[in-house]
């Protein structure tokens, strides 16, 4: 099996039974904020796109690159489709001209056959509203000799199914670096922001190491890593290395940083687990667990460490025209009131989602230039601010042209556009509100109906585990992660490393968000 990194979470997997192209992202995403790191624009995308199978893990724009899929990818390729409750991914691929689909069943191994032979595949589909825009997934492929688990940035809660279906995994491709806007866009002091960022980046790497131990693959390839932020307004979000500043606010460690973490923490021991550096264009040839050869298009050290800032400066110059062209497509701010257009989008969704609106529980402010609009979730209306209303518990400052662009494009997901762009600022009083961001992901009847129903289902917390002197429910109240594997107790605080959520054990109170109480009891010594 030959595996080629095509940048970020993208890989080309060549087997004797055919080739699979995974998550082929090349064009800047999220209002031209994110660019693949290292640069992959010089790869031969026509050749890579002449594939037998296509796998797009989910609809986030750093995985689903509409322009690249339309212009370069073979429309006769068989699409390996995750088992999602909302068919948005299939619809988008059909709109681009793809017409042959293998509809997989979540976490069930299946054999796909073509003129060149057969492959065993399994897609683990994550279906919670917090997973991507209504879905995320990971792909396992075996050609009968080598097994690769392309987990990209999915966060499965049950990995036993991989071992049961395939046995030993030879190559594990996984995310280790964040894909979020916290804490960089928050109105908090820089020192606090730096502390929160350090915690965030470390939790992401801790979670990845936990997955490495659970999967137990021979080779681990850090992927779905940091993008490049090349616009002048965002350049400071890049991680240039701790030597440059004592209060770095980047949550985006790079591949070299994570491979060093593996060595420090023993998840690269030279035998059981081995970290493998791959950059855009790197090719690795495997026979089972044996790495026969790896080649790189350039020496990886040229883009990391002390060379990283100079590399990013060159990329900034290269992509300046591309970013400028993208900005030229944004809707102009003509000064027209935004109240009525926002009312037409949001109020029908509010009317369908009592549980989510009640979960948000308070008015949210949208400050767009000199206009402020209030999303009044308790009353299910969009309105103007009231006199002496005071500061909203949650609020966003967003450039009007970004809001006008998503309204013009009938965008169903502000998280996958405005928020991941980091081209906004925000504040909150109190904890993170998961219901609020779920609402912004679900701006269609179908999505909001699914999300509201998902939250209305009771989570099973009947099973218990004992851990570090406590008896606690086995499943995380957030997204049902197995706390025997992802739970870390420090003193009287529990952290679930799957998403970094935390609880106060004596009270069971969630420290991250409203609700989501945990059942916990201290054991007698």
Kindly report, residue by residue over 46-89, the tens digit of the pLDDT.
Answer: 999 999 999 999 999 999 999 999 999 999 999 999 999 889 99
- How confident is the model at residue 194, as a pLDDT? 87
Looking at per-residue confidence, does 273 or 512 come out higher? 512
Pair type for strands 117-126 and 274-275: unpaired
How much is the pLDDT for 270?
A: 75
Residue 272 has pLDDT above 80, yes or no: no
Decide: 262 and 270 in contact? Cβ < 8 Å: no
pLDDT of residue 500: 83
Shortest CA distance to 434 belongs to which of 129, 157, 135?
129
In the predicted model, is pLDDT for residue 382 greater than 50? yes
Q: Can you tell me the distance from the alpha carbon of 404 to that of 406, in angstroms, rounded to the nearest whole number? A: 6
Q: Which two tokens stand for residue 18?
A: 């055919």
* pLDDT tens per residue across span 238-259: 988 654 444 566 889 999 999 9
CA-based max dimension of the chain: 70
In the chain, what are the domains? 2-323 (3.60.15.10), 339-456 (3.30.1050), 464-522 (2.102.10.10)
Of 109, 49, 95, 99, whose CA–CA distance to 79 is shortest? 99
| Residue 389 confidence (pLDDT) above 90 | no
**Rounded mean pLDDT of the chain?**
92
pLDDT score recorded for residue 512: 87
pLDDT at 116 over 80: yes
Q: Give the residue-averaged pLDDT of 145-150.
A: 98
- DSSP assignment, residue 35? B
Residue 243: predicted pLDDT = 45
Q: How far apart are CA 126 and CA 58, in angstroms?
A: 10
Across residues 94-119, what is the average pLDDT?
95
Edge to edge, the sheet with strand 283-287 lists 100-103, 78-81, 53-55, 18-22, 10-15, 2-7, 283-287, 290-295
Instruction: Give the per-residue pLDDT at 6.
Output: 98
């Amino acid at each position: 099996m030959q595996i080629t990194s095509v940048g970020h979470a993208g890989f080309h997997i060549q087997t004797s039974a055919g080739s699979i192209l995974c998550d082929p992202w090349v064009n800047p995403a999220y209002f031209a904020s994110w660019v693949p790191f290292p640069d992959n624009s010089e790869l031969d995308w026509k050749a890579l796109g002449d594939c037998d199978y296509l796998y797009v893990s989910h609809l986030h724009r750093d995985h689903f690159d509409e322009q690249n899929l339309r212009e370069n990818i073979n429309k006769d390729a068989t699409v390996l489709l995750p088992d999602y409750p909302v068919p948005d991914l299939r619809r988008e691929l059909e709109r681009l001209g793809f017409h042959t689909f293998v509809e997989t069943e979540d976490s069930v191994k299946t054999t796909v056959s073509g003129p060149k032979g057969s492959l065993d595949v399994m897609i683990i589909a994550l279906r919670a509203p917090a997973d991507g825009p209504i879905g995320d997934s990971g792909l396992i492929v075996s050609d009968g000799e080598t097994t690769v688990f392309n987990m990209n940035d999915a966060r499965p809660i049950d990995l036993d199914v991989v071992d049961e279906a395939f046995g030993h995994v030879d190559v594990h491709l996984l995310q280790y670096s964040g894909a979020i806007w916290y804490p960089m866009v928050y109105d908090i002091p820089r020192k606090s922001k730096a502390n929160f960022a350090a915690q965030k980046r470390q939790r992401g790497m801790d979670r990845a190491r936990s997955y490495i131990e659970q999967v137990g693959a021979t080779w681990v390839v850090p992927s779905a890593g940091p993008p490049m932020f090349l616009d002048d307004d965002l350049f400071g979000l890049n991680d240039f290395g701790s030597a440059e500043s004592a209060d770095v606010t980047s949550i985006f460690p790079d591949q070299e940083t994570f491979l060093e973490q593996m060595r420090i923490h023993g998840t690269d021991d030279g035998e059981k687990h081995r970290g493998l550096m791959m950059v855009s264009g790197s090719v690795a040839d495997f026979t089972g667990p044996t790495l026969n050869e790896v080649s790189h298009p350039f020496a990886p050290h040229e883009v990391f460490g002390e060379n990283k800032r100079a590399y990013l400066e060159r990329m900034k110059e290269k992509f300046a025209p591309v970013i400028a062209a993208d900005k030229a497509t944004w809707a102009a701010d003509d000064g027209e009131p935004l109240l009525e257009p926002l009312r037409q989008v949001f109020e029908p969704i509010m009317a369908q989602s009592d549980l989510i609106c009640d979960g948000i529980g308070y008015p949210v402010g949208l400050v767009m230039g000199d206009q402020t609009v209030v999303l009044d979730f308790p009353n299910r209306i969009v309105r103007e601010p009231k006199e002496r209303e005071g500061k909203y518990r949650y609020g966003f400052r967003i450039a009007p042209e970004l809001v006008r662009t998503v309204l013009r494009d009938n965008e169903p997901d502000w998280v996958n556009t405005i928020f991941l762009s980091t081209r906004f600022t925000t504040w909150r009083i109190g904890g993170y509100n998961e219901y609020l961001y779920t609402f912004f992901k679900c701006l269609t009847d179908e999505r909001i109906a699914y999300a509201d129903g998902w939250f209305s289902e009771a989570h099973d917390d009947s099973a218990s585990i004992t851990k570090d002197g406590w008896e606690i429910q086995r499943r995380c109240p957030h997204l049902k992660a197995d706390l025997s594997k992802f739970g870390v107790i420090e003193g009287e605080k529990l952290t679930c490393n799957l998403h970094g959520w935390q609880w106060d054990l004596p009270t069971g109170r969630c420290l991250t968000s409203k609700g989501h109480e945990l059942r916990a009891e201290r054991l007698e010594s």
